[in-house]
Structure 1
């Protein structure tokens, strides 16, 4: 018996703390009150033992896999878990056969696909008939925006559930639970004031990452009088540098916030988003292209030099690369953000394009047409044209007859 307990204890020592402390009930599940609050749609359905197919979209470590497992437990469903990284159509077919066998015994099946955005269109399409006929229910998890990564046919058959990053209060409870588990099962510990807040700041809403830090820092901490002494310094040494979280969605979000900060004349916000994109490994030429767009679209002729500054920043980045390229980029960002703004240029060209696309595609007046070739004047081309430099005050019609008086510019 002792050998059995020893074996189980040794097995637990090999299991990561984040896995050991994974919530076993919905009541233990923290940080997603918007999804599993008292009157939330998901909880109401679970109370009636009903299921529907879902895709959980959220940042790493926010509880997507855990929630899928808890839903399966709550509904007594057969739970099949695969990863899109290591599986394919054959695995989907195997899951379908398993689900059909469960149906014959009256059991529902949930197929959980982690990182479903990694599946190709063909692999995603393989799920469609089985969702359609009710053979199984799908719960997919993704860190990427499903609108970009999941095929429309599959999206139309599921509900997308947005999971938030774990809030600081919930993260505090999770970290304390981790330390309590380690102190109970290994050695008691003392924790320096500020250590938990430091981990919360490092984790940025990722509970799995936070518990990995807790575990590693605990076993790396100093041992004195049979007690662990955990300090902020130990955590800093263990973690070194936290990678910037930057999914494809965040790529778009950050670029959008960057351009809107430039447009809104907030140089501090624009510099912050510039730094965020650089730290995440964004191609600096992509950033410079956004800057050029803003200089033309949002500054325009209110300060024509802004476009020169932005283009020169692009050239400087190509010459220097990073890290030196960050400096001319920052210089240009501050200039464009502080420049006077006018959207006259983009409004004018878009209004004119809209007219043409709407069918208002008219030829130029006869006197403006090309008359450089022989016999052109015989057709009336160029007849009556006034050379503007010779008669700057002389009125001359330039727009087509049908658009006389039309204003595209302010």
Structure 2
């Protein structure tokens, strides 16, 4: 059976300019009221909305995930400000294209017309390319609108950031995506209204959820489903075909990556096994390097469990080794079991804190001399100079500890770096550490 057309009947101007455009492009919002999912930023009465509606647009960076409306907002800025819209992509353009776009904007500026210059994926431009925009922003030749999925604090230079306001766009909620899908289904001019498609109950919600916050992706799913639909019906079988190979949003080196590894680490630290296994699975699902996860889990065992349960350290190394031997997907279970164990294990950062405190004290105090009684004395000359004199062999002392033997430099006598907790194994020797320290603070014999 031939496939059904997925665009409305072509007539007039629509036939010439829009009939071949993807559904997501045809359904792009024409005004602020049609924008979905950005109520925090564009709610009626909000500062940005009032500014746009009044035509008082400013240079800005739009930071948000794919499909949240960055390009749409830039187009609307130009429309409301009665300005020329010009777009370049940092993926496809070099310095020559940037200069050409700026030269065209200069000509329009000389004729009294503003230009909204939209730079997609602006984080991909290097510092020299970013600097090229600065004088034109300062003089008002362009209203600069940069779109990025990456954290501007890390990817854009400070000079550009100082001349632009950063607006954060959110991933679009499923309910808002569902509203956009419903509009596309009923719109007879730009959408699929003329096809009179019939959807099984819950189909729109399924498509909206599968889009994972991306309106463009949802509309693409709907367009494909309409193409595959038998007799105009989109049922569960059709949806299974459309959504079979979908993936979740994840970047392997950007903001989402660092946010999720932070969530995993903090979930382990908070002794929440459910959250820990969830974030680990999210990162595995996103294609995160498994060896990186094994290394970070090992770091958690050392930093956050520490001496409260030294077995966690060994289990981390065993899980890492098991993954290296088994590979994916079998070896991932070893990482999952490790994450669960770390989450439920007793926690102590006492060793981590002691190491940091000692390192800071070393930096502050410099090269303090080793006490004479602790020095090595392999030669007669060194013995004659007093090296090793007065050293007490602890195994020969009562209780196995020479309690009045000072092992720190004189300038750090009685300094405390390690503070054992009462949790897990560490709690079993806390009393001993405290007792020995108390003994060492007693007046020395002899």
- Provide the TM-score with structure 2 as the length reference: 0.86
More moved, 355-364 vs 122-131: 355-364
- Which residue number corresponds to residue 194 of structure 2? 186
Give matches, 1:154-165, under 5 Å. 154-165=160-171
> In the TM superposition, what is the alpha-carbon distance from 1:180 to its structure 2 partner?
1.1
| 1:278/1:364 CA distance change after superposition, 3 Å | same
Say if 2:47 is the partner of 1:41. yes
> In the TM superposition, what is the alpha-carbon distance from 1:178 to its structure 2 partner?
1.2
Give matches, 1:100-179, under 5 Å. 100-179=106-185
- Which residue number corresponds to residue 196 of structure 1? 204
Q: How many pairs were matched up?
A: 404
- Which residue number corresponds to residue 406 of structure 2? 397
Say if 2:85 is the partner of 1:79. yes
Say if 2:375 is the partner of 1:369. yes
Say if 2:248 is the partner of 1:244. yes
Paired with 1:131 and 1:324, the residues of 2 have a C-alpha distance of 54
8 Å Cα contact 1:198-1:232 kept in structure 2: no
More moved, 334-343 vs 351-360: 351-360
Give matches, 1:2-21, under 5 Å. 5=11, 8-9=14-15, 11-21=17-27
- Which residue number corresponds to residue 261 of structure 2? 255
Counterpart secondary structure, 1:87: coil
Give matches, 1:335-350, under 5 Å. 335-350=341-356
Give matches, 1:214-229, under 5 Å. 214-223=222-231, 228-229=232-233
> In the TM superposition, what is the alpha-carbon distance from 1:292 to its structure 2 partner?
0.5
> In the TM superposition, what is the alpha-carbon distance from 1:45 to its structure 2 partner?
2.7
More moved, 309-318 vs 283-292: 309-318
- Which residue number corresponds to residue 212 of structure 1? 220
Match of 1:381 among 387, 397, 405: 387
> In the TM superposition, what is the alpha-carbon distance from 1:232 to its structure 2 partner?
2.5
Paired with 2:192 and 2:378, the residues of 1 have a C-alpha distance of 94
> In the TM superposition, what is the alpha-carbon distance from 1:369 to its structure 2 partner?
2.3
> In the TM superposition, what is the alpha-carbon distance from 1:150 to its structure 2 partner?
1.6
8 Å Cα contact 1:298-1:342 kept in structure 2: yes
Say if 2:280 is the partner of 1:280. no
| 1:178/1:158 CA distance change after superposition, 3 Å | same
> In the TM superposition, what is the alpha-carbon distance from 1:307 to its structure 2 partner?
0.2
Q: Structure 1: give runs of 5+ residues left out of the alignment.
A: none
Give matches, 1:349-368, under 5 Å. 349-359=355-365, 361-368=367-374
- Which residue number corresponds to residue 337 of structure 2? 331
> In the TM superposition, what is the alpha-carbon distance from 1:7 to its structure 2 partner?
7.4
Q: Structure 2: give runs of 5+ residues left out of the alignment.
A: 1-9, 420-446
Paired with 1:85 and 1:304, the residues of 2 have a C-alpha distance of 48
- Which residue number corresponds to residue 230 of structure 1? 234
> In the TM superposition, what is the alpha-carbon distance from 1:397 to its structure 2 partner?
0.3
- Which residue number corresponds to residue 408 of structure 1? 417
Paired with 1:325 and 1:401, the residues of 2 have a C-alpha distance of 52
Paired with 1:8 and 1:77, the residues of 2 have a C-alpha distance of 24
Counterpart secondary structure, 2:368: coil
Counterpart secondary structure, 1:259: helix
8 Å Cα contact 1:194-1:232 kept in structure 2: no
Paired with 2:30 and 2:55, the residues of 1 have a C-alpha distance of 18
> In the TM superposition, what is the alpha-carbon distance from 1:280 to its structure 2 partner?
0.9
8 Å Cα contact 1:355-1:361 kept in structure 2: no
| 1:92/1:184 CA distance change after superposition, 3 Å | closer
| 1:184/1:272 CA distance change after superposition, 3 Å | closer
> In the TM superposition, what is the alpha-carbon distance from 1:81 to its structure 2 partner?
0.5
| 1:184/1:380 CA distance change after superposition, 3 Å | closer
Paired with 2:83 and 2:59, the residues of 1 have a C-alpha distance of 13
Say if 2:74 is the partner of 1:60. no
- Provide the TM-score with structure 1 as the length reference: 0.93
Counterpart secondary structure, 2:246: coil
- Which residue number corresponds to residue 315 of structure 1? 321
- Which residue number corresponds to residue 30 of structure 2? 24
Paired with 1:218 and 1:65, the residues of 2 have a C-alpha distance of 25
> In the TM superposition, what is the alpha-carbon distance from 1:9 to its structure 2 partner?
2.5
Paired with 1:68 and 1:27, the residues of 2 have a C-alpha distance of 15
